[in-house]
A and B are shown apart, each in its own frame.
Chain A
């Protein structure tokens, strides 16, 4: 079930009412059952099975690690838990890709054997709850968290429906105590949750999906489009992805607030980052904190005898894993490797950076800030090409042709050509107007406290938002979030 499906608009009020009027003892069970129903509504039994496996294995392993005092046994259980969780992830998400790679290798080496093709399964949500389960097991092993004994509470921690499909990837310390706390109805929290949900829906349906119309047309036929169209589509994709994913996160956080639960904020103006490292502190924050703590830091520690190279190599490996986590395709692998490469290079470049800005007199000026932001944004957009393109050859064509007609843009009105070959000027402008509106609103949103405004202003804003979603939103039955696939 997606957040903007008709079923969800019936499901959510029903769950809320039952939850609200239930006794304290059954409330968690109500939320857990609701979460399982929410997931089962996809009618894909393997997903529910994967969730049950991950919950049961992690629950038992957590308790066993906690009860064991022998270091050897503890580490054995840790690896058993990690292995079992990764096995579920591989079985659901990576098997077809691994089989295809092995078969290609076998045919290249003329082994004369081939494995039967593995069915391509939908893996919505699995990467998210597996990562959350891994962080729980590792934290229990490190004794930074105690193992949870209440099975219902633990299962709810992994499967709480607002964050089940697409995160945020919540840490035990952030979510479990909130789920354990007695329920309290707070009108202001519920109201702010509903507004956040609607705002997220606006970002997704009115802006991201409208941008997608232009981006999809251009990316579907890269050879038939001009360099300028490819360039514009890539920049617009950067915003489509941000608004799609942050729109989803807003909706998830909004829904969670109905139950008085505060989920992690996943985005902090990522395109204003002044370095790729800064970008990763602002983009998909719950995920980047995860790979920082559980992959990068242990690797950096293990490679510490190699000096700066050790850190650079740890970054490279971490982002390779990040690429693979996003999906079983070479495009994601290259996307991850590029981020790893940028960060690894920045480790060496860092001492020179300060000297360079000092020598040019830019150190600490607003010009330095703008320059760094522009460069970072363009580096990130470069990597999005591999993330979005249908194939590596398409991506390569785009990066080698974006500037192919840049001269004609300035001399012969190449922009209009970009519109003609792309998706038409109207579609392009239709994408730009809501985008500009949402970016402007995002800037002032936190400064203007809507709830402190007079009645007519608040309700005017609510109605406008709903009107725009209904009449300007791109509403189709097939719409889905980009990050669902991961």
Chain B
């Protein structure tokens, strides 16, 4: 299973929405709300699944899902 497919599975699980189909161009609509835990749950789920650790500020610079996939793959290779 490639990174994109695995990530798609995580998104579906965290957002509790089996219809999610990720593309490289997919961007986060303003989901980061004061009462929202989904963003941090997503980060934790991705870190656990790929056994990686994001540094502070690394995620803020990502513009879309494609860049997230690239970052994950770069971290796995390290």
Q: Given A300-B40, A304-B40, A304-B44, does the pair A346, B35 have CB atoms closer than 8 Å?
A: yes
B34 touches A277 (CB 8 A): yes
Cβ of A275 within 8 Å of any chain B Cβ, yes or no, is yes
In the complex, A405→B37 CA distance in Å? 42
Q: Is B61 an interface residue (CB 8 A)?
A: yes
With a CB–CB cut-off of 8 A, which chain B residues contact A155? Answer: none
Cα A296 to Cα B33 in complex, Å, equals: 10
A347 to B41 CA separation, bound complex (whole angstroms): 13
Min CB–CB distance A305 → chain B (angstroms): 8
Q: Is A25 an interface residue (CB 8 A)?
A: no
A144 touches B34 (CB 8 A): no
Given contacts A301-B56, A302-B56, A304-B44, contact A142 B61 (CB under 8 A): yes
Contact mask B23-36 → A, CB, 8 Å, 1/0? 00000000011110
CB contact under 8 A between A343 and B40, given known A297-B60, A298-B57: no
Check A304–B32 contact: CB distance below 8 A.
no
Question: Roughly how many angstroms separate A296 CA and B34 CA in the complex, as a whole number?
Answer: 9
Q: How far, in whole Å, are A288 and B33 apart by their CA atoms in the complex? A: 11
A171 at the interface (CB under 8 A from B): no
Are B57 and A142 touching (Cβ within 8 A)? yes
Q: Smallest Cβ distance from B29 to chain A, in angstroms? A: 14
Contact at B59–A350, with CB atoms within 8 Å? no
Q: Does B20 contact A (CB under 8 A)?
A: no
Contacts of A346 in B (CB 8 A): 35
Q: Which residues of B contact A483 (CB under 8 A)?
A: none
Partner of B56, one of A281, A288, A292, A298: A298
Q: Which residues 339-363 of A sit at the B interface, judged by CB distance below 8 A?
A: 343, 346-347, 350
Measured between beta carbons, the chain A residues less than 8 angstroms from B32 are: 292, 297
Q: Are A301 and B34 in contact (CB under 8 A)?
A: no
Q: Tell me, rounded to whole Å, the shortest Cβ–Cβ distance linking B68 to chain A.
A: 15
Q: Would B40 and A311 count as touching, CB distance under 8 A?
A: yes
Min Cβ gap B38→A in Å is: 11
Smallest CB–CB gap between B19 and chain A, Å?
A: 20
Selected from A144, A288, A343, the residue in CB contact (under 8 A) with B35 is A343
In the complex, how many angstroms separate the beta carbon of B61 from the nearest chain A beta carbon?
5
**A144-B61, A301-B56 in contact; A315/B44 too (CB < 8 A)?**
no
Which residues of B are found within 8 Å of A143, using beta-carbon distances? Answer: 61
Query: Taking the complex as formed, is B52 at the interface, i.e. its CB lies under 8 A from any CB of chain A?
Result: no
What's the minimum C-beta distance from A165 to chain B, rounded to whole angstroms? 27
| Given A142-B57, A142-B61, A347:B43 Cβ within 8 A | no
- Report the Cα distance A298→B55, complex, angstroms: 10
Q: Please encode chain A, from 185 to 219, with 1 for each CB lying within 8 Å of some chain B CB and 0 for all others.
A: 00000000000000000000000000000000000
| Contact status A292-B34, CB under 8 Å | yes
Residues of the A chain whose Cβ atoms lie less than 8 Å from the Cβ of B60: 142, 144, 293, 297
Return chain B residues, CB-CB under 8 Å to A343: 34-35
Do B56 and A347 have beta carbons less than 8 Å apart?
Answer: no
Does A277 lie within 8 Å of B33, measured CB to CB?
Answer: yes
Shortest C-beta distance, B57 to chain A (Å), equals 5
**Does A442 reach chain B (CB closer than 8 Å)?**
no
The CA of A310 and the CA of B39, in the complex, are separated in Å by 13
By the criterion CB–CB under 8 Å, are A277 and B35 in contact? yes
Indicate whether A280 sits within 8 Å of B34 (C-beta atoms), given known contacts A300-B40, A304-B40: yes
**CB nearest to A307 among chain B residues:** B44
Identify B33's interface contact among A144, A281, A298, A308, CB under 8 A. A281
Least CB distance, B10 to chain A, in whole angstroms: 15
Complex CA distance for A276 and B59, rounded to whole angstroms: 27
Nearest B residue to A75 via CB reads B57
A277 to B61, CA, bound (A): 25
Query: Among the interface residues A276, A300, A301, which one has the most CB atoms of the partner chain B within 10 A?
Result: A301
Q: Which residues of B are found within 8 Å of A310, using beta-carbon distances?
A: 40
Instruction: From known contacts A144-B60, A144-B61, A301-B59, infer whether A350 and B40 are also in contact, taking CB-CB under 8 Å.
Output: no
CB-based nearest B residue for A305: B44
Chain B residues, CB < 8 A from A296: 34
CB of B21, distance to nearest CB on chain A (Å): 26
| B37 partner residues in chain A, CB cutoff 8 A | 308, 311, 347, 350
- 29 A-B contacts, Cβ less than 8 Å apart? A142-B60, A142-B61, A143-B61, A144-B60, A277-B33, A277-B34, A277-B35, A278-B35, A281-B33, A281-B34, A288-B34, A292-B34, A293-B60, A296-B34, A297-B32, A298-B56, A298-B57, A300-B39, A301-B40, A301-B56, A304-B44, A310-B40, A311-B37, A343-B34, A343-B35, A346-B35, A347-B35, A347-B37, A350-B35
Known contacts A281-B33, A343-B35; 5 additional CB pairs below 8 A are A142-B57, A144-B61, A292-B34, A297-B60, A301-B43
A-B pairs with the 6 shortest C-beta distances? A277-B35, A277-B34, A280-B34, A300-B40, A142-B60, A142-B61
Interface residues of B (CB under 8 A from A): 32-35, 37, 39-40, 43-44, 54, 56-57, 59-61
Which residues of A approach B to under 8 Å, CB–CB?
A: 141-144, 275-278, 280-281, 288, 292-293, 296-298, 300-302, 304, 308, 310-311, 315, 343, 346-347, 350
